[in-house]
């Protein structure tokens, strides 16, 4: 089995984590490969696994994860696609879909709170993406109360009744996000996965 369990909220390799209690386990591979991704999709089942689509030339899927405890349906998924841009150099784009209270998006964002908060919709959205033909509004999420460097841009919104987070590193890569961005759900992609490029440096989060 290529997926290993750990805490969803931190890097502790034990479940339940002494700092974060009995949350569902995070299942993440040591290396992003086709076989490991097929295992990820089997564990996540019908829970959406989103990637920016189409994947730009020279970019690849460098990481993915799911949140599940083995007895219930999945509560969240993550993918990371990585590449380079002329202005930003190396770029990581993390996409997290999760049920409220899961905490995976907050971990990637560097936020101390599990959810972005419903107050984000009290102002105009910062950006939009499309999932299929459906536009999804996204708002910038401040992580200024969090520890660590301000090395990322964080956006969050709601898609199909779940939180959707997009974390871009470095922070300047936010300029890559345009209204014509499409997220594709790969949970039912089947043989098309052969076309996905896998591999590269696995990001830390």
Is the Cβ–Cβ distance between 126 and 140 less than 8 Å? yes
pLDDT digits (tens, 9 = 90+) for 113-163: 899 987 787 899 999 999 988 999 999 998 754 555 568 999 999 999 999
Write down the pLDDT at residue 98.
Answer: 97
Task: Compute the average pLDDT of residues 1-17.
Answer: 80
Query: Looking at residue 99, what is its pLDDT?
Result: 96
Return d(Cα 47, Cα 188) in angstroms, integer.
Answer: 10
Query: 58-85, pLDDT tens digit by residue?
Result: 999 999 999 997 656 899 999 999 999 9
pLDDT, tens only, 165-200: 999 999 999 999 887 899 999 998 876 777 899 999
CA atoms within 13 A on the CB side of 42: 9
pLDDT tens across 96-106, in order?
999 999 999 99
Q: Indicate yes or no: pTM above 0.85.
A: yes
How many angstroms separate the Cα of 154 from the Cα of each of 10, 13, 42, 163?
18, 26, 28, 13
């Amino acid at each position: 089995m290529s997926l290993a369990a750990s805490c969803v909220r931190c890097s502790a390799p034990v479940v339940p984590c002494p700092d974060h209690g009995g949350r569902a386990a995070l299942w993440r591979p040591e290396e992003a490969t086709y076989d490991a991704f097929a295992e990820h999709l089997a564990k996540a089942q019908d829970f959406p696994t989103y990637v920016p689509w189409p994947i730009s030339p020279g970019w690849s899927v460098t990481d993915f994860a799911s949140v599940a405890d083995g007895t219930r349906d999945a509560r969240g998924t993550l993918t990371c696609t990585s590449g380079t841009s002329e202005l930003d150099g190396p770029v990581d784009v993390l996409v997290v879909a999760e049920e409220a209270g899961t905490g995976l998006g907050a971990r990637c964002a560097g936020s101390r709170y599990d959810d972005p908060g419903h107050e984000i919709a009290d102002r105009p959205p910062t950006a939009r993406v499309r999932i299929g033909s459906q536009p999804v509004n996204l708002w910038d999420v401040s992580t200024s109360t969090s520890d660590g460097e301000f090395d990322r841009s964080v956006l969050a919104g709601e898609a199909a009744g779940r939180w959707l987070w997009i974390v871009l590193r470095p922070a300047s890569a936010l300029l890559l996000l345009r209204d014509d961005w499409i997220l594709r759900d790969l949970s039912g992609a089947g043989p098309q996965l052969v076309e996905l490029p896998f591999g590269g440096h696995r990001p830390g989060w």
